[in-house]
Structure formats: C-alpha cells, structure tokens
Amino acid sequence: MKHSSKIFFTWVAGLVLAGTVSAADTVCSEVLDFERKPLAGEGSINLCEHYRGKVIVVVNTASKCGYTYQYEGLEQLYSRYEAQGLVVLGFPSNDFANQEPGSADQIKTFCRLTYGVKFPMFAKTRVARGTDDPLFRALARHAGEYPQWNFHKYLIDRQGRVAASYASKVEPLGGELEAAVKGLL
C-alpha cells in the first residue's frame, strides 16, 4: 500500500471513530459502483464518487415516447429538491419500440431545448431484461423488476439502497414518487 493510501485510510478511520462519517459512507453501494459516460461527453463518471450520500432517481428515457413529457416533471423534481440532496440521473434507451434512435448529441439537444433538462444524462444504455446493462441489472435485482417501458424510475436512498421502483405511468410530481423523495430527504 502506498504511503498516501495509508494516510487516507487512517484519516477515514478517524472520521468514523469520531462519528463525523459512518462506515457506510465510505463504502460504495452495489447499485452505484459503476462508471458511466455522460451524454455527449468525454471520459466517464464514477457514480459512487459523484452521487454517494444523495437521494437518487434513476430513469430510463426516450425522446419519441408517449411519456417523453415526463422530462419536464423530472427536471422540476430535480430543481425543486436538488439543494436538499436529490439528483435525477437519466439513461436514454432505445430498447422499447426504437423510441430513442438519435445520437448522443441529438438526444442532448432535444432534452435541453424542448424540456430544459439540466439533470445529469448519460450515454444510451440497454435496460431490458436479457440485454441489460450491469447497472440496470443491479437495480432490477434489488427492486425485483426490470423496466417494462420507457420512463421507469428507481428511487435510491442516501445509503445507496433501492427504496422503490415506479412504472412508467407514475408521474414525477404531485404523487407517490415525489412523496417518497421528500420522505428520504
């Protein structure tokens, strides 16, 4: 082990013993232990490093779906509760009826110009059972269900546990999803 690593682990252990952070805060949850490329971006982001300790809504999206209007509600949910620790993470997917055929740049432009989306969006992802990405496989294992259509939502608590799973028809605002988010914040 390098000297700097020993110092870091000693520092973290001191924080845990002092009660400043819990041991759970230093371990990455299985559902966040992934690297993902931002939509039309360079490099990749470690989901655990960026979003650990936050309440997270993970949603598979599509630009040509009957539920596409939910981008607006998801953005409002994000902007309403971001300061309290909520983040919405969007993962475009073309798995259902080819409703996300565009390139990364096209998707990003559509989301920003049409719905003012500012929440983090990531590269196209396979989410359906059997063709799924490891992130969505982990989410499905913990929630007990895979997305059946676009705009399926997984709610993750601050400890990185899947707290709930919501079908596409569940609206982002004014109902059970928003109430559950508020309860976790």
- 150 — alpha (psi -120 to 50), left (phi > 0) or beta? beta
Extents of the domains making up the chain: 1-27, 31-184
* pLDDT tens column, 117-143: 999 999 999 999 998 799 999 999 999
Q: Is the pLDDT of residue 26 over 80?
A: no
CATH number given to 31-184: 3.40.30.10
Alpha-carbon distance values, 81 to 77, 103, 127 (Å)? 6, 30, 26
Q: What are phi and psi of 161, to 5 degrees?
A: -100, 140
54 half-sphere exposure, CB direction, 13 A CA radius: 20
Indicate the pTM of the whole model: 0.86
Alpha-carbon distance values, 179 to 40, 81, 87, 96, 171 (Å)? 32, 12, 15, 28, 11
The 8 Å CB, 24+ separation contacts for 21-27 are 24/159, 25/52, 25/53
pLDDT confidence tier of residue 79, bands split at 50, 70 and 90: very high
Catalytic residue among 28, 48, 65, 111: 65
Q: Catalytic site residue 65?
A: yes
9 half-sphere exposure, CB direction, 13 A CA radius: 7
* pLDDT tens column, 151-161: 999 999 999 99
What proportion of the chain, given as a percentage, has pLDDT over 90?
Answer: 81
